[in-house]
Amino acid sequence: MEIEVDGKIIQLSEAGWLEDLSEWTEEIAKKIASDVEQCELTEESWDIINLSREMFYENNQVAEPRKFMKAMKAKFGKERSSNKYIFSLFPKGGLIKSANKIAGLPRPKGCS
């Protein structure tokens, strides 16, 4: 699968994961969100995307959901740290399948 962003062809896996993580940009994130995940990014969506990228680069791995929710709660409060809240922003796949994909992170093990 591929997408075109700013005249450049970007390679994605069959499921829409970025093949070359170093190519990630906010424009690519917007394109994956609209074309692959069928969601619109809001300021709150970007909070999740940015935190997931931050945690990935701090720990060199995609954050597991419980750890991520704990970080969300510490940074944004209880009302913005539930799985239900994240699915409201990324309805097709929540944190693991949608937000991480849009954030240009590697596909977690066991994730289709």
> Could you tell me the CA-to-CA distances from 27 to 8, 33, 82, 92, 100 in Å, in that order?
11, 10, 27, 20, 15
Beta strands (DSSP E) in the chain are 2-5, 8-11
Q: Which of 17, 75, 111, 112 is catalytic?
A: 111
At what angle are helices 43-59 and 65-76 packed, to 10 degrees?
120
Q: Are 65 and 95 in contact (CB under 8 A)?
A: yes
> Could you tell me the CA-to-CA distances from 95 to 16, 44, 62, 67 in Å, in that order?
15, 13, 10, 12
The reply to whether 111 belongs to the active site is yes
The catalytic site residues sit at 111
